[in-house]
Amino acid sequence: MSKKIGILGGTFDPPHKGHLSISLLSIKKLKLRYLIWAITKKNPFKKEPMLSLNKRIMLSKQMTSSFKKIKVKTYDKIIKSSETVNLINYLKKKYKNTEFFFVIGSDNLVGLHKWKDWKKLSKKCQITVFPREGFVAKSLKSKAFKTLGNQNLLLIKSKIVNISSSKLRKNYLR
């Protein structure tokens, strides 16, 4: 029987209870051995992060310290990339006989077709999609959903967590 490991990738700028909520739900619903918060230096589709990588790692570790099944890591230096497909390739080599679940919000499914090797990604890991407010209908009409379909995506039914790092940054900068 293979191990099941979840990955929640992102800049976590800043980390928030939405990240924690979908992490804990993923661990429970998917029966994961553990879930990795893979914190990237910079999202290729976004502006420079507000907080430094070290600060984001520190805040993430503080937030998850009482949850033994959530591990905070950064892989950019090891894999010399912030692209998800390279992270999954690295983890598949490192952890043999492991089934990977890459956890995203439905907002990321809308833009998934812009990611490097996005079609290959669905063959290397189970792309697991949580609902995000304002993105569920859009995600079901997205190029990625139409191309990959239900058989290559795992759509999780859950309560929508109405929080985002973008909103937190806007409030912080006011």
Distances 97 to 73, 92, 93, 126, 154 between C-alpha atoms, Å: 21, 8, 10, 14, 20
Average of pLDDT values for 52-66? Answer: 96
- Taking Cα atoms as reference points, which of 34, 33, 30, 3 lies closest to residue 97? 3
pLDDT tens sequence across 5-34: 999 999 999 999 889 999 999 999 999 999
pLDDT tens sequence across 102-132: 999 999 999 999 999 999 999 999 999 999 8
- Taking Cα atoms as reference points, which of 116, 93, 91, 113 lies closest to residue 101? 91
Alpha-carbon dihedral angle through residues 34, 39, 40, 45, given to the nearest 10 degrees? 90
Mean pLDDT, the chain, rounded, equals: 90
pTM of the model: 0.91
Q: Which two tokens stand for residue 33?
A: 């051995």
Task: Tell me if 9 sits within 8 A of 23, measured CB to CB.
Answer: no
Q: Is the pLDDT of residue 43 over 90?
A: no
Q: Is the pLDDT of residue 75 over 70?
A: yes
Task: Tell me if 42 sits within 8 A of 48, measured CB to CB.
Answer: yes
- Taking Cα atoms as reference points, which of 106, 74, 79 lies closest to residue 7? 74
Distance of CA 102 to the CA centre of its chain: 6
Query: What is the pLDDT, as a whole number, of residue 163?
Result: 62
Q: Which residues pair with 155 in a beta bridge?
A: 129
Which residue did the predictor score with more confidence, 81 or 125? 125
Q: Is the pLDDT of residue 157 over 90?
A: no
